[in-house]
Structure 1
Amino acid sequence: MTGLALGLGVGLGLFVALTGPALAQAKIQIGCTATSDCASAMVAVDEGIFKKHGLDVEMTPIAINSNIPAAILSNSIQVGGPTSTVFLQAVDGGLDLVAIAGASVMNPTSNTAIAAFVRNGITINEPKDFVGKKVGAPGLNAFLHVLFVKWLVEKGVAPKSVNFVEVTFPTMADIIKSGGVDAVLTAEPFVTRMTNAGIGSVGARYGAELGRTDPIIFYAAARDWAEKNVATVKKFREAIAEAAAIVNSDRDKASNSIAKFTKQPLELVKATPPNQSEPNLKPENLAWWIDVMSSQKMLQSKLDTAKLVLN
């Protein structure tokens, strides 16, 4: 928590310094990592849906999901797409963030796309084979990491017996190939891309084994900004709902936007269904994550779900 607190403290200081002029800006920067989870925002930008709703929006790539809360509070971005786990830990740490709209949720398709990808030369036949291995996660305490730890616990493996390090999505293939880590926690289209490159294989489909339907990523903002921009948040939600319908029904449009933002080959993105977009987020949707994180001793306080989602 020391590193997190330091990073967030810097974010808070910058936020205080920049709040005044930021509130007068019409442009909204949305920060997300290079996955399909923020596809609704990507489509809303590319298809002119935000503009139709009177919003001037740009997408900003964020390398590590756990950096998003500090980016929001430093006003580098006004809206971010943190994973449920990153958001909850940031709020637990004292940051006044609030969810303003849903982005993606787990479902059978997205769960199957999640994997622990293992480099050549490493054999994983069962969960206990991860003991002593160096495993890269795209954000410690972020979605894929917490989900994997939950899976290890359910399989009777002590998470502390695994050495976790942070590895960004774009660098996973190079780090796996070089032997810098034994495995990475990743998802499509990165799984297919690394498989096709012949640098390793899937060691576990842990998302599918857990089989959950909870939120993966949602759009969040500083509570102060959201409450002072109620009309903007309303337009944002309407635009995201319109774009989510496209993501869930038009593979071509969704794939084009995802490929453009993530800089992944279009043919590879088209081969992988995007995560299901669910714009409606309710406080109770976060209850399972709170239980899981509490069991992993990631939360120090008792969070009130009613205060986590903007009315």
Structure 2
Amino acid sequence: MRRLLAGLAAGALLSAATACGSSDDDSSSGSASSGGTTTVKVGLIPIVDVAPLFLGQQKGFYKKQGLKLSVSFAAGGAAIVPAVASGQNQFGFSNVFSLMVAQSNGVALKAISNGNASTGVAGKDFVATLVKKDSPIRTAKDLEGKKVAVNTLKNIAELSVRESVKKAGGDPDKLKLVEMPFDQMPAALDKGQIDAALAVEPALTTIRQQGGREIAASFVDVAPDLTVGMYFTSQQYAQKNPAVVKKFQQATAESLAYANAHPDEAREIVATYTKVPASLLADITLPKWPAEPNRASIETQAKLGEEFGFFKKSPDLDALLP
């Protein structure tokens, strides 16, 4: 399955990487060209969450800061974190809970810019736990013993599904969780290979158009106005390259603000790095892209992570967050 995803990403998402200034430069600290432009490698997930970065690149916000982005794609933060920690990528996007888990395992990371947030509205969020139209599953409690797909284990998706089950009166330890890239979830659910999926846009709308039903607004179940994703780097890179980090922060802040103010353009840019058909773009639900993370919602995630036994040691949020 991972090999299949890699093949699909290499072909279908090539144009997105090119649009974002892909480069063959191989530098652990970013490569400066003769024109004074620094190429930085950024690991992303091909989902709606990262639309502001592509929009910012299109609008020249990163170029204005002297940055050229070389983008690579992965199924989730679990694959992006080691690439950034090792210096293969200078920056990455991940759900903030995966960053906490990595830090608790001794990986020295630094979140540097906000990424995205839940809308906070059940039934109108950009992520949900869904089942097939004719499924006997009616509530999250019914997921006990069922096969539920998440993009990667030990991340915000697993945390959220567990919380939905717990809130519905079920036992989250009885879930049968399966790792699956978001773009493969609609077909797997339709074919009955899984019983439910925690899907984000654009996979969420694809499942709904297949007749899928939402049984839990799992991000809303965790916390109101949940901070979901953040852009990050390694502690080592942040210490050695503070000027480049500051430029990335400034360009990303401008990109987030622009995306929030121009939702139609944010929708359109999604088609440049995913295989979402134009007919689907008008229906997808966009996340929020606030300037700052919601610290209270991150603390809630840390508390739940402790409760569910995700951490080897408690995460240090002061060291991790901007």
Is the shorter-chain TM-score for this pair beyond 0.5, marking a shared fold?
Answer: yes
The aligned counterpart of 1:268 is: 280
The aligned counterpart of 1:175 is: 188
User: Does 1:139 pair with 2:145?
Assistant: no
Q: Which one-letter code corresponds to 1:248 in the other structure?
A: N
**Secondary structure in structure 1 of the residue aligned to 2:271:** helix
Paired with 1:124 and 1:208, the residues of 2 have a C-alpha distance of 20
**Secondary structure in structure 1 of the residue aligned to 2:238:** helix
The aligned counterpart of 1:257 is: 269
User: Does 1:51 pair with 2:57?
Assistant: no
Give the C-alpha shift of residue 284 in structure 1: 6.0
**Structure richer in helix, relative to its length:** 1
Paired with 1:102 and 1:202, the residues of 2 have a C-alpha distance of 27
Match runs of 1:120-135 below 5 Å: 120-135=133-148
Paired with 1:284 and 1:185, the residues of 2 have a C-alpha distance of 23
Q: Which one-letter code corresponds to 2:165 in the other structure?
A: L
Residues 44-83 of structure 1 show CA distances to partners (whole Å, capped at 9, x for unaligned) of 1122110011111133221233211112123332111111
Match runs of 1:116-265 below 5 Å: 116-198=129-211, 200-265=212-277
Paired with 1:229 and 1:80, the residues of 2 have a C-alpha distance of 15
Q: Percent identity?
A: 23
2:41–2:71 Cα contact (<8 Å) kept: yes
Residues 90-113 of structure 1 show CA distances to partners (whole Å, capped at 9, x for unaligned) of 010010011011011223258633
2:141–2:166 Cα contact (<8 Å) kept: no
Q: 1:36 to 1:295 in 2, by over 3 A?
A: same
Give the C-alpha shift of residue 282 in structure 1: 7.2
Residues 222-253 of structure 1 show CA distances to partners (whole Å, capped at 9, x for unaligned) of 11011111111111111111111111111222
The aligned counterpart of 2:298 is: 286
Q: 1:98 to 1:152 in 2, by over 3 A?
A: same
What TM-score results when the alignment is normalised by the length of structure 1? Answer: 0.86
The aligned counterpart of 2:128 is: 115
Q: 1:21 to 1:272 in 2, by over 3 A?
A: closer
The aligned counterpart of 1:304 is: 316
Q: 1:24 to 1:53 in 2, by over 3 A?
A: closer
The aligned counterpart of 1:93 is: 105
Give the C-alpha shift of residue 273 in structure 1: 3.6
1:109–1:275 Cα contact (<8 Å) kept: no
Report the RMSD for the aligned CA atoms in angstroms. Answer: 2.2
Give the C-alpha shift of residue 126 in structure 1: 2.5
Q: 1:245 to 1:155 in 2, by over 3 A?
A: same
Q: 1:173 to 1:302 in 2, by over 3 A?
A: closer
Q: Which one-letter code corresponds to 2:238 in the other structure?
A: A
Give the C-alpha shift of residue 278 in structure 1: 2.1
Q: 1:185 to 1:24 in 2, by over 3 A?
A: closer
Give the C-alpha shift of residue 290 in structure 1: 1.0
Q: Which one-letter code corresponds to 1:256 in the other structure?
A: E
Paired with 1:277 and 1:300, the residues of 2 have a C-alpha distance of 31
Q: Which runs of 5+ in 1 are unaligned?
A: 1-19
Residues 104-137 of structure 1 show CA distances to partners (whole Å, capped at 9, x for unaligned) of 1223258633221213542122232111111111
Paired with 2:171 and 2:39, the residues of 1 have a C-alpha distance of 46
Match runs of 1:56-95 below 5 Å: 56-95=68-107
**Secondary structure in structure 2 of the residue aligned to 1:185:** strand
**Secondary structure in structure 2 of the residue aligned to 1:220:** strand
Paired with 1:22 and 1:129, the residues of 2 have a C-alpha distance of 47
Q: 1:92 to 1:208 in 2, by over 3 A?
A: closer
Q: 1:43 to 1:168 in 2, by over 3 A?
A: same
Paired with 1:160 and 1:75, the residues of 2 have a C-alpha distance of 35
Q: 1:163 to 1:249 in 2, by over 3 A?
A: same
Q: Which one-letter code corresponds to 2:154 in the other structure?
A: N
From 20, 29, 33, give the equivalent of 1:23. 29
Q: 1:86 to 1:202 in 2, by over 3 A?
A: same
- The number of aligned residues is 290
